[in-house]
Chain A
Amino acid sequence: AIQMTQSPSSLSASVGDRVTITCRASQGIRNDLGWYQQKPGKAPKLLIYAASSLQSGVPSRFSGSGSGTDFTLTISSLQPEDFATYYCLQDYNYPFTFGPGTKVDIK
């Protein structure tokens, strides 16, 4: 199974900060990667798919990049509603695997 890692595991940031989260796959997965946001007690929400495609309705401050093994989620200007945990997911092959998550909290 493909292993996914994320860094950092957590970060503290202020409103307005630029935030970058990295996801790495244990083998090449083309651009078959999505990013999901989850708030406490809620279901995950799709932000980005195919590494860089913004899901409809998601604010443009979210962007994704990368291909192969290294991927990045960037929030250009952190907003109060963005404090959450972020997960990457590879859908290149089964079994699909999530990264361990990155918790973004308030500095």
Chain B
Amino acid sequence: EVQLVESGGGLVQPGGSLRLSCAASGFTFSSYDMHWVRQATGKGLEWVSAIGTAGDPYYPGSVKGRFTISRENAKNSLYLQMNSLRAGDTAVYYCARAYYDSSGYAFDIWGQGTMVTVSS
């Protein structure tokens, strides 16, 4: 079964750090771009970061310089290192696989999400 399972969420103080993990199974992890998407309670989806198959990272301005995405293909794992956390980073964080074919690109597999709460 193709599956993504996030872990590592929790309560952290403002200015603190947290590392999220996403364990992939059921597919050839190294062949896919991977993404993180977050959702604050009651709010919409926000794209957080991406990493290509070659390890090239991408970020929006809201997290650039504070978050670092990485992957370890030998362990079928995706990571998100989050530093200098703010209250505004409080959200459920999802990892997602990027599928692409001759037609286009999309997030076809999602994890169940892990909750990150930034509060004193």
A interface residues (Cβ-Cβ under 8 A, vs B): 1, 31-32, 34, 36, 38, 43-46, 49-51, 53, 55, 87, 89, 91, 94-101
Q: CB distance B104 to A98 under 8 Å?
A: no
Q: State whether A91 touches B45 (Cβ < 8 A).
A: no
Taken together as a complex, chains A and B put the C-alpha atoms of A86 and B67 apart, in Å, by 27
Say whether chain B's binding surface is mostly helix, strand, loop, or mixed: strand
How many inter-chain residue pairs (CB < 8 Å) link A and B?
A: 71
**Cβ A1 vs Cβ B61 within 8 A:** yes
Closest B residue, CB atoms, query A32: B104
**CB neighbors of A among B22-57 (8 A):** 35, 37, 44-47, 50
Q: In the complex, what residues of B have CB within 8 A of residue A101's CB? A: 44-45
Contact B106 A87 (CB under 8 A): no
